[in-house]
Amino acid sequence: MSGLIGQNLGRYRIIELIGEGGMATVYKAKDTRLEREVAIKIIRPEAFPPDQLDTILKRFEREGKSLGGLSHPNIVSVLDYGENEGLPYLVMIYLSGGTLKDRLGKPIPWRDAVQLIIPVAHALEYTHEHNIINRDVKPSNILMTEKGQPMLTDFGLVKIFEDKAATNLTATGTGLGTPDYMAPEQWAGEATAQSDMYSLGVVLYEMITGHRPYTSDTPAGILLKQVNEPLPLPQKYIPDLPQNVESVLLKVLARKPNDRYPDMRSFANELQDLLEGREVTATTIKIKRLREQMTGKVERQPQVDQNHVEQSRNVYIEQNGNKTPALESPPDRPKRKFPILIAAFGAFILLFACGLCWFISANVKLFAVAKTPTQQALTLFTAVDIPATEMIQTTLLPIETPAPIETPIPVEIEDEKNIPMRLVPEGEFTMGNDTGDVESRPASLIYVETFYIDKYEVTNEMYGVCVFTGTCRLPRKSGSATRSSYFNNPVYANYPVIYLDWKMAKTYCDWRGARLPTEAEWEKAARGVDDMRAYPWGNNFDCDFANHSGCIGDTAPVSQYDQGQSPYGVYGMSGNVWEWTNSLYSFYPYSSTDGREDPDASGNRMARGGSWHIFGGTGGNIRIDTRFKLDPTYYGGYVGVRCALTK
């Protein structure tokens, strides 16, 4: 491309190279007819596979036509469109002030930064009104005039909201963007106007603090940090930064699009209010709670008001005469906030509030009119196919309450992919039980070496990173029992991944440098101490401890049940989803050397932990010692995975 310098493209004489990006090369040129300097952007054919070049050229042409119809004082105008030896080029206004990227590297006073970003926000507001998403908002795409005014450019990744004919052009580029500035949902190809807002928020954060929120050597590393790490508080870098400025940054950089501003106009108005000293909407209870979470003052997941839950249950029992009210989750519907007015309105309003209340991230359960087990089973069996397999279930006999045993202090690490794992120390424990099923699992004393196990079930977000790298396959289905959109839906990012067969689960753990746990390891991590407890938390069962048998009617967030942790601080080892283990089905006593841990052997593999599905009776299939025998090729809407790691 350097050979173009000094040549003419039509009426444009190429003067010098300005820059080279992933898709195109930009030159400074002179319009010989109008005697003015222009910038010419020419596609780089060598940057794309030959079989995709035609598609890229069409996308580039569409960029010219899209931008040619835009007219905004803070958008770089497209003046002309042409071709050179079959390669298209765009002619744009030449700006000599460089880019915003040239001005970064150290903090900019927040007022100056906000004043500079407001015109860009209005430019994006304008493009969104014309059904265009930029999808690559970053400092190098914000050009500066001689007078220091910002101009938004490079719409090479635009997506026309309602242009159905353009679908085939964006299909191969749905995840395009610059990783450091991409919104979480954009990794899954779901870029929206809210994604541009997030990217502009990253730019503003970098201007004010001198740092980008998340950095890594690889795109996957950035996504992992977005998933697993809280946003570094801006005041960490700028201690005297006003709290309302920090609150605005927290809101615009919220992980979920619905937690950000509703549109670019609202964001721009909020920034203007900051400059003029007016109160901003970001100083809400929700943002304050988010700040507390990021500073470690509260748990990352909001806590359920247990007093409220217990009082609601008592009211339900009093009104309906049922000792064990069932819980039902309707198919996806907008989650609504409803104030809890216990003292003012009494028990009847409590019941009504419980009927309407569905807290964000499914942290408060919906109490509904109880169905009989048969009715509930019929409902769920129509939603999920049950495999031709066998669950080996324990006979539920009265359990004596054991003497109190000291609970170990959880020890946590992160693996090489920054996934939190809990330490399970070496030692003997009693595996299985003697309550009936002696043919397959009489109680026996087993020794396990020290290992680590995932703190949570593998989530849609975690698994999505592996898919992004090309190592893992997409789940066999993208929905769930009651949700048509599940795996690629940011709303369910913190929910367990499902529809994985055994090989897919193993591939994921291998990718992380980990492995599937053995049955013995899984049971030790769930039981924790040798007291023969029925569940990881003890012997009492209800929906405050685990997701099962009508509690929700589908999967729940992996970090929802604080009360259901095992003694080692592991979440979700009862209920929510069955979890694949490495172990082949075989009778007890368990032995790791009898061939059952051979990953290449054929035969049924064991799943552990039970699920949300009503299969085996209330509380029956989520006991620590319950086993599920599955064909390794099976995949279902209630089977997931967690990984283990040898110390």
User: What does the pLDDT look like over 46-78, one tens digit per residue?
Assistant: 767 777 777 777 777 776 776 777 788 899 888
Domain count, the chain: 4
Q: What pLDDT score was predicted for residue 226?
A: 83
Domain annotation covers residue 114: yes
67, 93, 119 — which closes off a domain? 93
The residue-averaged pLDDT of 455-459 equals 96
Claim to verify: residue 89 and residue 126 sit in the same structural domain: no
Mean pLDDT over each residue of the chain, to the nearest integer: 76
Claim to verify: residue 104 and residue 81 sit in the same structural domain: no
The residue-averaged pLDDT of 400-406 equals 44
Claim to verify: residue 437 and residue 516 sit in the same structural domain: yes
Q: What pLDDT score was predicted for residue 186?
A: 84
Claim to verify: residue 263 and residue 116 sit in the same structural domain: yes
pLDDT at residue 555 above 90? yes
Domain annotation covers residue 378: no
Q: Residue 23 gets which letter from DSSP?
A: S
Q: What pLDDT score was predicted for residue 351?
A: 32
The residue-averaged pLDDT of 276-291 equals 72
Closest C-alpha to 427, from 404, 451, 403? 451
**How long a stretch of residues is the chain?**
647
Domain annotation covers residue 300: no
Mean pLDDT check: name the lowest of 18-32, 191-205, 465-479. 18-32
Claim to verify: residue 169 and residue 26 sit in the same structural domain: no
Q: What pLDDT score was predicted for residue 463?
A: 93
Q: What is the chain's percent helix, strand, coil content, to nearest 5?
A: 35, 15, 50
Tell me the CATH number at 227. 1.10.510.10
| Rounded (10°) CA dihedral 180, 184, 188, 189 | -70
The 3-state secondary structure of 563-596, one letter per residue? HHCCCCCCCCCCCCCEEEEEEECCCCCCCCCCCC
Domain annotation covers residue 401: no
34, 66, 93 — which closes off a domain? 93
The residue-averaged pLDDT of 415-436 equals 85
CA angle 442, 448, 450 (to 5 degrees): 155
The token pair that represents 3 in the structure block:
């050979």
Q: What pLDDT score was predicted for residue 249?
A: 96
- CA 173/CA 261 separation, integer angstroms: 26
Mean pLDDT check: name the lowest of 108-112, 338-342, 412-416, 438-442. 338-342
Q: What pLDDT score was predicted for residue 633?
A: 94
pLDDT at residue 340 above 80? no
Domain annotation covers residue 584: yes
Q: What pLDDT score was predicted for residue 289?
A: 56
Share of residues in the chain with pLDDT > 90 (%): 40
pLDDT at residue 438 above 90? no
Mean pLDDT check: name the lowest of 181-190, 235-244, 271-280, 353-362. 353-362
The residue-averaged pLDDT of 307-323 equals 39
The pLDDT-based confidence of 113 (bands split at 50, 70, 90) is: very high
Q: What pLDDT score was predicted for residue 301?
A: 37
Q: What pLDDT score was predicted for residue 385?
A: 36
pLDDT at residue 454 above 60? yes
pLDDT per residue over 391-401, tens digit each? 444 333 333 44
Q: What pLDDT score was predicted for residue 620?
A: 59
Active site residues: 136
Which residues are CB-contacts of 235 (< 8 A; sequence separation ≥ 6)?
A: 241, 243, 246
Residue with tokens 């080279």: 20
Claim to verify: residue 526 and residue 588 sit in the same structural domain: yes
Claim to verify: residue 71 and residue 182 sit in the same structural domain: no
Mean pLDDT check: name the lowest of 139-153, 166-180, 360-374, 390-404. 360-374
**Domain extent for 126:** 100-294
Claim to verify: residue 113 and residue 59 sit in the same structural domain: no
Domain annotation covers residue 550: yes
pTM: 0.48
pLDDT at residue 144 above 80? yes
Q: What pLDDT score was predicted for residue 208?
A: 97
93, 110, 125 — which closes off a domain? 93
Residue 400: Cβ within 10 Å count: 7
Domain annotation covers residue 389: no
- CA 540/CA 159 separation, integer angstroms: 53
Q: What pLDDT score was predicted for residue 572?
A: 95
Claim to verify: residue 585 and residue 603 sit in the same structural domain: yes
Domain annotation covers residue 283: yes
The pLDDT-based confidence of 388 (bands split at 50, 70, 90) is: very low
| Rounded (10°) CA dihedral 403, 404, 409, 412 | 60
Mean pLDDT check: name the lowest of 415-424, 469-478, 544-553. 544-553
CB distance 640 to 509 below 8 Å: no
Mean pLDDT check: name the lowest of 46-50, 257-261, 583-587, 641-645. 46-50
Mean pLDDT check: name the lowest of 267-276, 537-546, 570-579. 537-546
pLDDT at residue 302 above 80? no
Claim to verify: residue 68 and residue 192 sit in the same structural domain: no
Q: What pLDDT score was predicted for residue 533?
A: 84
pLDDT at residue 338 above 50? no
Claim to verify: residue 266 and residue 225 sit in the same structural domain: yes
Q: What pLDDT score was predicted for residue 377?
A: 26
Q: What pLDDT score was predicted for residue 470?
A: 86
The pLDDT-based confidence of 303 (bands split at 50, 70, 90) is: very low
Claim to verify: residue 160 and residue 274 sit in the same structural domain: yes
Tell me the CATH number at 16. 3.30.200.20
Mean pLDDT check: name the lowest of 314-323, 432-441, 483-492, 580-589. 314-323
Can you give the C-alpha Rg of the chain in angstroms?
A: 28
